Structure 1
Amino acid sequence: MALFVEPGTNGLTAIAGVTALALAIVGFIDDLRNLPAVPRLGAQITVGLLAAIACAVATGASGWVVPLGAVLITGYVNSTNFMDGINGISGLHGAIVGASFVVAGWLVHTTWLAVLGAILAAAFLAFVPWNLQRSGFFLGDVGSYLLGGAIATTATLAIAAGVSPLLVLAPLGIYVADTAVTMARRQMRGERIMSAHRSHSYQRLTDTGLSHLSVAALVTAFSAGSSAIAIIVSMAGVSPWLGWALIVGLCVVYLWIPRWRGSRLPSTGFVVPAAPSICEIPASPGHLAKRWAVVGASGFVGSAVVAYLSEQNVEISEISAPRLKMTAPTASDLSQLLEQAGIEAQRARLAEQFTGIDVVVNAAGMASPDSAGDDALYGANALLPAAVVLASADAGVDRIVHLSSAAVQGRRSRLDDSSDVAPFSPYSHSKALGERALLAVADRGVPTQVIVLRATSVQGRGRSTTESLIRLAHSPLASVAAPGTAPSATSSVTQLAQTVVGLGATNESVRGIVLQPWEGFTTRRVLEAAAPDRQPRMLPAWLCRTVVGMGFAAGRIVPRFTGTARRVEVMWFGQSQTPGWRQGSQVDESADLLQILGGA
């Protein structure tokens, strides 16, 4: 593209024009042939890189312009393409950005920037009447690529020429914020980014009943406001950081409007099938637990179970957990989940390994509270348990004890052994689906007795979460919500292993869902045990609730924050629970947990 560069304004205009035309050609081919994602992105990156090089050469800027320009051009072309979903929005956007470039060019005495801005504004303003008609014209990929390419290349040229980035990037802020937040949220939820959806803020606004023109005008008004902030800050001569801060705030307000109007983000990632009935395990005087199989025997919990079983007079078969994959939407459909588990090749292999076994312990799974919800998570925590219980029934296993998580009940004030679940993250969702699969199989009347054990916040020597807890307890961040006497769901892997073996061996009647017993610690005592020489700070409860609320609000945009907010909430407020299996009303502090945390 450097071949088209001429000295002065014409050369810079040519770079913007040729880049926009090249990207429009890519869009035209995509409209005709529906290019796959990889070659389409490759073409965009190639054009963006060549354009960025031309910008650097034409303006004499340093090499940093090349990567910046390539990312800006490639990213913004896709942003305009994603945002071109309602009548009028792109035409008005091109007009307001062009007008902003005109003002920016006038402010910094840069004629070519004002000229390019005027061309942009005139071209897309002329397109608006056609675009607003119900049966009118649409930009399509060719038009949106042309718009994004022209705007991003002009912005790259301006920055390379020394124009304040605040002035030229401000009008792009709303489009970038809507696109970036939507893509990040979908990625965190484990959704396929390239699949069709309606979770952009502007789409959610139309879902609340606003017309296309109203939403397009609203988005344009916020873009104009963002540009006005940059212009006022530049004219006032104050720090550009003030302008950036105000623009970020404006973007946050824009992203919040759909919720204010009643739009709620789709919760398809956390759909849980209706609960089957919980089968009570009757007293079984003839139950013998001599031969055990532990799936996931090399894992954190599995190895603790094997170690405890080794002290008993039993046979142990240690089984490596197969790696399975399944999408969240498929796992959310119980019939599809069980159907896939039924035809899963690993079912037959597991059934063969379970032959002659009395008790199967499923200690496998992904303990990833911050996981983005990928196929591996749902394969390990939903599909594998279904395959294990079906294989156990095939092999004639007498009993299966499945390790689930109390996280399936979410933020409820009191944990219990009911079938009620309220998953708040991909991890807790996947574990809840695993529970549902086992309960559904038990409800069919299979001879294998099914017990679901909900583990709480399990700690153990060498576990990364335990080491992080101990480091936190020794840091200035160690704190609890006053007065710090709320019960904590923190527990020891030692007692968890004992509970697993007890449930697998007992001849008494047992409920189909069992909650791991509380180990007697309060929120304050957990931190004191982990750092005996340091007292945790007592924070006002209202302040803690405010911070936690902000964390969960951020999680609505980036779901990964939900897991962090939940851990902080549990540290500050704890979580009470009904008495666990074989647990009385009086509970003393667990010596096992005290030892693990380093207090003894």
Structure 2
Amino acid sequence: MGFVSWSVMLGVVLVATVSFIDDIKPLSQLPRFLSHVIAAVLVFYELNLFSEPLWLLPILFVLLIGWVNAFNFMDGINGITVLYALTAIISFSLLPLNQLQLPLLISMGLSCIVFGIFNVRKKAKTFAGDVGSISMALFLGYFMMKTIIESGQLSFILFFSIYGIDAGITILNRVKKRENIFQPHRSHLYQYLANEIGLSHILVSCIYAVLQLGLNIFLIYMDTQGNLTLLFSIGILFTLVIVYMLFRQFIIRKIVLSNS
């Protein structure tokens, strides 16, 4: 009890292996994409999603693959990946429906803490790389889908909202500018804060993690009170998006003014 099945384990090992090779010698997009597709199929198999309506599968596929890549794209400053992953693990651990998998979650959390000792610092001694961020993203994506399915509570997708909003709006801005979204860049809000504004990497990483953890605890509390409705969650998401966009524009204007 408490451990994932062979299918999820195989999916994580697959993307980790391909990502490790890519970290050493960059691969083309095809093998990386294929590994993500196969891993997603294995996760779907484990969660018995192939019994769901056919129209739902492409949506879930895009969401899972999108999350894996978004999590990887957000791995740009010291501490942000490991702290955000730890936040998600803590949040999943607080839900009663995941109690049987607490040993696994605790093991992953302890791994994050050990890794964080060497990564959450001004001059990091270790880095997640694609092998760390992508395999962790798949693991967290599996737990998110499992949690939503078993609870019937779609609102728990907001557990990933801070990353999701930053990654999603940044991609839309890059598409609008006709930029290649698969090329490295420094246009995420957290990158502006750390690189252009000059805030400490650790401070920015902690802000992202603390904001998400605070929101997640609030969501769990509202769920226990029976008040976590879909309409309420949409309102939270809409508010977060508006606040994010206003703050992003404020930061960009400040950078432009300081460079003029």
Q: Same fold (TM over 0.5)?
A: yes
The aligned counterpart of 2:146 is 157
Matched, 1:229 2:218: yes
Superimposed CA distance per residue, residues 390-428 of structure 1 (whole angstroms, 9 cap, x where no aligned partner): xxxxxxxxxxxxxxxxxxxxxxxxxxxxxxxxxxxxxxx
CA RMSD of aligned residues (A): 2.5
Matched, 1:75 2:90: no
* Rounded Cα–Cα distance in structure 1 between residues aligned with 2:65 and 2:255: 28
Select 2:190's aligned residue among 163, 180, 202: 202
On the 8 A contact 1:86/1:212 being kept in 2, the answer is yes
One-letter code aligned to 1:112: L
One-letter code aligned to 2:29: A
The aligned counterpart of 2:52 is 62
Structure with the bigger percentage of helix: 2
Matched, 1:95 2:86: yes
One-letter code aligned to 1:35: L
* Rounded Cα–Cα distance in structure 2 between residues aligned with 1:103 and 1:82: 27
Give the drift of 1:146. 1.4
* Rounded Cα–Cα distance in structure 2 between residues aligned with 1:16 and 1:126: 23
The aligned counterpart of 2:161 is 173
On the 8 A contact 1:53/1:66 being kept in 2, the answer is no
The 3 A distance-change label for structure 1 pair 98 and 135 is closer
The aligned counterpart of 1:42 is 34
In structure 2, list runs of 5 or more residues that go unmatched.
Answer: none
Give the drift of 1:262. 5.4
Give the drift of 1:56. 1.1
Select 1:25's aligned residue among 17, 23, 27: 17
* Rounded Cα–Cα distance in structure 2 between residues aligned with 1:151 and 1:264: 35
| Higher relative contact order, structure no. (Cα contacts within 8 Å, ≥ 6 residues apart) | 2
* Rounded Cα–Cα distance in structure 2 between residues aligned with 1:100 and 1:263: 35
On the 8 A contact 1:52/1:156 being kept in 2, the answer is no
Give the drift of 1:251. 4.1
* Rounded Cα–Cα distance in structure 2 between residues aligned with 1:235 and 1:213: 33
One-letter code aligned to 2:65: T
The aligned counterpart of 1:213 is 202
Matched, 1:147 2:139: no
* Rounded Cα–Cα distance in structure 1 between residues aligned with 2:255 and 2:51: 43
Select 2:170's aligned residue among 179, 182, 185: 182
On the 8 A contact 2:80/2:205 being kept in 1, the answer is yes
On the 8 A contact 2:7/2:45 being kept in 1, the answer is no
The 3 A distance-change label for structure 1 pair 162 and 132 is closer
Superimposed CA distance per residue, residues 303-325 of structure 1 (whole angstroms, 9 cap, x where no aligned partner): xxxxxxxxxxxxxxxxxxxxxxx
One-letter code aligned to 1:81: N
Give the drift of 1:252. 3.4
The 3 A distance-change label for structure 1 pair 216 and 242 is same
Give the drift of 1:221. 1.7
On the 8 A contact 2:12/2:39 being kept in 1, the answer is no
Counting matched residue pairs gives 252
* Rounded Cα–Cα distance in structure 2 between residues aligned with 1:233 and 1:240: 12
The 3 A distance-change label for structure 1 pair 187 and 252 is same
In structure 1, list runs of 5 or more residues that go unmatched.
Answer: 1-7, 267-600
The 3 A distance-change label for structure 1 pair 22 and 32 is same
Structure with the bigger percentage of strand: 1
Matched, 1:53 2:45: yes
SS at 1:161 equivalent: helix
Select 2:75's aligned residue among 67, 84, 87: 84
Percent identity reads 25
Matched, 1:129 2:117: yes
* Rounded Cα–Cα distance in structure 2 between residues aligned with 1:35 and 1:237: 48
Give the drift of 1:182. 0.7
Give the drift of 1:265. 7.9
Give the drift of 1:85. 0.3
The aligned counterpart of 1:376 is none
* Rounded Cα–Cα distance in structure 1 between residues aligned with 2:152 and 2:103: 15
Give the drift of 1:15. 4.1
The 3 A distance-change label for structure 1 pair 249 and 265 is farther
The 3 A distance-change label for structure 1 pair 259 and 116 is farther
